[in-house]
């Protein structure tokens, strides 16, 4: 029985991470769209992508902690946007930008690790998370 519960919980969590990946990808698509939109009608698909993106963000929050989902969403969006600026739109790169992007990614990883440790820590009745 415990094995079945474990697999069901992991399937739900994996589905949540699938939605996180989709929302991060689509966030970068609409940010790219912001940079290349030249006519009013270019904004129509961008708005559609934003609506779909936030739908997937909400779906991810149904099975994963909202703080974790948003931290990953924000970090991927920030770092992805900075990298798009550098590689696609001839933005400048500096050591400081690289260091701060690495700190941001490390912070999200640390939050995820801390979240996992908090869930595994025994609570008042001696049971884990």
Domain spans, the chain: 2-120
C-alpha to C-alpha distance for 24 and 21, rounded to whole angstroms: 5
Q: CA-CA distance, 112 to 28, in Å (whole number)?
A: 22
More confidently predicted of 112 and 82: 82
| Dist. CA 108–CA 114, nearest whole Å | 10
Summarize pLDDT for 15-69 with one digit per residue, the tens: 999 999 999 999 999 999 999 999 999 999 999 999 999 999 999 999 999 988 9
Q: Read off the pLDDT of each residue in 98-114 and give the average, rounded to a whole number.
A: 88
What is the crossing angle of helices 2-36 and 66-88, to 10°?
Answer: 40
Sequence-ordered list of residues with C-beta below 8 angstroms from that of 38, at least 6 positions apart, any chain: none
- Whole-prediction pTM: 0.73
84 strand-pairing partners: none
Beta bridge partners of 122: 128
Measured CA distances, 120 to 80, 100, 113, 123 (Å): 31, 30, 11, 9
């Amino acid at each position: 029985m415990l094995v079945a519960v474990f697999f069901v919980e992991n399937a739900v969590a994996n589905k949540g991470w699938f939605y996180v990946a989709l929302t991060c990808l689509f966030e970068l698509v609409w940010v790219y769209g912001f940079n290349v939109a030249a006519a009013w009608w270019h904004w129509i698909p961008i708005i559609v992508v934003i609506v779909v993106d936030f739908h997937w963000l909400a779906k991810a929050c149904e099975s994963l902690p909202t703080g974790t989902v948003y931290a990953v969403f924000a970090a991927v969006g920030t770092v992805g946007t900075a990298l798009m600026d550098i590689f696609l739109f001839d933005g400048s790169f500096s050591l400081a930008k690289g260091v701060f992007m690495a700190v941001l990614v490390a912070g999200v990883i640390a939050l995820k690790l801390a979240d996992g440790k908090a869930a595994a820590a025994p609570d008042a009745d001696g049971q884990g998370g």
